[in-house]
Structure formats: structure tokens, C-alpha cells
Amino acid sequence: MTILIAGAGDLGTEVGLRFVAQGEHVVAVRRRADLLPAALDSVSLDLRSDRLVVPPDTTVIVVALTAGERSPEAYRATYVDGLAAVLDAVDASEADPRILLVSSTAVYGVDDGSEVTEATEALPSTPTAEVLLEAEVLLNRRAAHPVVVRVGGIYGPGREFLIDQVRSGASSVPEASPFTNRIHRDDIAAALVHLAGLEAAPPLVLAVDDEPARLGDVFRFLAAELQVAPPDETRKELRGAGDKRISNALLRSTGFRFVYPTFREGYRAVLAGEGIRHP
């Protein structure tokens, strides 16, 4: 049997390696396959222009695409057109795979701090989030066994934006510090492998850790760990869009367990230099 990773960047590569560790044959597709580890059966291919061939024994496809820029045009070319190319390839094959699509909790335009579950209606508040929802609709319309995984902010090895902000003294606590939702790279990779292996996977899953955390609390924690000055709380900047508490209750109910259940364990691992970011 074959597992196909469409979009083998940092996350997709980690997912592929975890499948290999379980004894699976993994085909990993990306534009530069020379960057992939030897354990993966690598294919250099641009889904926007090249024809993908899905092996007939493919049982699972993980679609983990990444847009090169944050514009609606780039998002559509990557997430909608790229996914369409994968679905076309499935239609042209003899395979009948479960397809897991890595999407985002950004499709929820909630900004009042309320709880969000799989039952919450997705009402995007940005053009890029609208494109992500369009990709989800496409998957559900065309795939026989779709699983949409809406992921919170991914952090982990090499994903140190907040750490760099705090270390440089550039962090500040926005007025009415919003709830933020995140998940460590290793946990979301493990969750995707877990969902792929379930006898009956939910068609929609929210993937975040156990604790929605106010941004100010995360900044203060990182400052203490780094032993630097706490974030500026005098500027009272207006916060950006989005203030919601994502629930991971459904994911946990499937039997999944986190290595990094909150940002504290996860960021401590990052600060300790654990793990690598795949190119």
C-alpha cells in the first residue's frame, strides 16, 4: 500500500517520515524533491502545471500545500488549483483513497472570544480564508472519503516568530489581548497519521492543543523562559483580527493524545533545540 503526500514541505515531510516509521511506503511530492530525505519516495512535480500520477494501491493522500505568498491569487493557485490537480489524478487512477486536507481555523471569522467547535459555521472574514473554505468545499464535493483538518497556528522547530519577537524586545500586548490557538508541528503531524489510520475518521476535525491562550500570556511566558524583559504593555496597540477559543474535544475523543498539550511544553521544547525543521 502507498501513502501519498501532496505538498511535502516541513509538515508534509514530518507526516511522511512518521508513516515510514510505521512501515508504510510513502510517495512525497513537491517542486524540489532533492530536498526530501531518502526514506521518502520523492517526486519533483508542480501541481499547478505538471500531471500527477496516483499509484493504484494508494490508500491515503495527505494534502499539505503551502502558498508562496498571502494573496487570494496565490492561495487559489495553491489550495484550490493544487487540490483540483490531486483530485483529477485520483479520478484518473484505480485508487480509492482517504484524502486528508490540511486547512486552517482561519475559516472562522470569530472575533468575540467565543468557543468554536466543528458545529460552528465557517464564516471567513478575509479573502484568503474564503479561498481555504473554497478548497474544503471542492474536496467534499469530489472526494469519496474526505477529511478536512482545520489547523491552528503551527509552531515548532524553525517556526520561532513569537520567540524572535520577544527576544528582540519587539513584542507588545495588544489591547484586549485575543485568544490564540496553536499546535506543535510534531503534534499536528502525529494527528494526521492518527486520523489516517482510524476505521471511521470524522469528515471535519479541528486540530489545536488543549489550551486557547491569550497572546499576552504567551508573550509573558516566553519572556520568562528567555529571561528577557516582559512585553510592552503600555502601547495598547489594537489587536489584529480573530479572537476565538478552538475546541479540540472531537480530536481527543478519537483517542489522540498530545506530546505538547499546551504552548508551555511545546515552546520549552523549541527553546531547548529539540527537533529540526525540514527544508
Tell me whether residue 214 is in a domain. Answer: no
Q: What's the CATH code of the domain at 112?
A: 3.40.50.720
Host H or E run for residue 133? helix 127-142
Cα separation, 133 vs 126, in Å, equals 11
Residues 118-155 have pLDDT tens digits of 999 999 999 999 999 999 999 999 999 999 999 999 99
Q: Grid coordinates standing for 25?
A: 511506503
Q: Grid coordinates standing for 173?
A: 500586548
162 within 8 A of 155, measured Cβ to Cβ: yes
What range defines the domain where residue 142 resides? 2-155+182-209+245-258
Task: Give the residue-averaged pLDDT of 59-79.
Answer: 97
Burial string for 41-63 (b: 16+ CB within 10 Å, else e) reads bbbebebeeeebebbeebbbbbb
Confidence of residue 158 (pLDDT cuts 50, 70, 90): very high
Average pLDDT, the chain: 95
Tell me whether residue 240 is in a domain. Answer: no
Tell me whether residue 42 is in a domain. Answer: yes
Residue with the bigger pLDDT between 60 and 240: it is 60
Cα separation, 195 vs 265, in Å, equals 23
Q: Could you give the number of structural domains in the chain? A: 1
- Report the range of poorest mean pLDDT among 172-176, 190-194, 200-204, 268-272: 172-176
pTM: 0.96
242 within 8 A of 181, measured Cβ to Cβ: no
Tell me whether residue 215 is in a domain. Answer: no
Residues 10-59 have pLDDT tens digits of 999 999 999 999 999 999 999 999 999 999 999 999 998 999 999 999 99
Tell me whether residue 35 is in a domain. Answer: yes
Q: How many CB atoms lie within 10 A of CB 33?
A: 15
Cα separation, 28 vs 119, in Å, equals 33
Tell me whether residue 81 is in a domain. Answer: yes
pLDDT above 90 for 232: no
Q: Give the model's pLDDT for residue 171.
A: 81
Relative orientation angle of helices 161-168 and 215-226, to the nearest 10 degrees: 60
pLDDT above 70 for 249: yes
